[in-house]
Amino acid sequence: MFSRYDFLIWISIAILALGVMFFNQQMSAYSGEEVQVSVNNEKYGVFPLQEDNVLEVEGVNGITRVEISDGRVRVTHSACPDKICIYTSWIHRPNQTIVCLPNRVVVKITSESQQDIDLYTN
């Protein structure tokens, strides 16, 4: 009843659709994302998210150590009393932020292409 051409067409449609989906998922990981660091409302620097890096940011009270690895960002060390920035842990999506209020350090991920989520609140 079904010939092999039938199955060929069905499977090719499914593979085409799944392939494009998979390709998108792979592509979305490399979409020009950057880590924006600002101290006391002044721009400190912009760093690529895909490059592993450890930044020593000079804040108001002392040094905040920002670690970038595997396309994620976290604060490992900070000269502040409550350590909220450290407890925020890893962030990786555009518009996610780590804020250290006592030290006036804001770490934000920015992206040129993907603007699907406007803002994250913790």
Give the footprint of other proteins on this chain (CB under 8 A).
1-3, 5-6, 9-10, 13-14, 16-18, 20-21, 23-24
Q: Which residue lies nearer to other proteins by CB, 20 or 101?
A: 20
Three-state secondary-structure class, residue 36: strand
Residue among 76, 51, 79 at smallest CA distance from 66:
76
Minimum separation from the CB atom of position 92 to other proteins (A): 20
Neighbours of 22 (CB within 10 A): 10
Minimum separation from the CB atom of position 23 to other proteins (A): 8
Q: Which residue lies nearer to other proteins by CB, 54 or 117?
A: 117
Q: Rounded to whole angstroms, how far apart are CA atoms 94 and 115?
A: 7
Question: Are the C-beta atoms of 71 and 92 separated by less than 8 Å?
Answer: yes
Minimum separation from the CB atom of position 37 to other proteins (A): 30
Per-residue DSSP letter, 80: S
Q: Which residue lies nearer to other proteins by CB, 25 or 121?
A: 25
